Amino acid sequence: MAKIGDKIRHNIKDYLTDREVKKLLDLFDKIKLDLSAPGFPTRTNRLEAVENMKKVLEIHNYEISEYDPDKAEPIVVADARDQHLIRQNFNKATGGK
């Protein structure tokens, strides 16, 4: 079976409509405004900018989802003991000391 390119599979256009262009220009202005505060932007402004960035991506057919900590995989951080055991097992496997 021949592979279908992403543009055909997801019905992505090579161009934007006039309405999409106007919406994008509006969103870009809002993003710049949200992040243009002197100093570090407030949390409210940062989150508003992120919401507008998500809208920009959605216009370009990206699927955006919210982070769900209940579905997230736990982050495992190896400690020094783990590193020692990894080295010890590697040395056994390779004949090193």
pLDDT, tens digit only, all 97 positions of the chain: 345 455 444 555 678 889 999 999 999 999 999 999 888 889 999 999 999 999 999 998 888 888 777 887 777 776 766 777 777 777 777 776 5
Give residue limits of the domains in the chain: 7-65
For residue 34, with 0-12 CB atoms within 10 Å meaning exposed, 13-18 middle and 19 or more buried, which class applies?
Answer: buried
- Helix and strand numbers, DSSP H then E, in the chain: 4, 0
Q: What is the pTM of this model?
A: 0.57
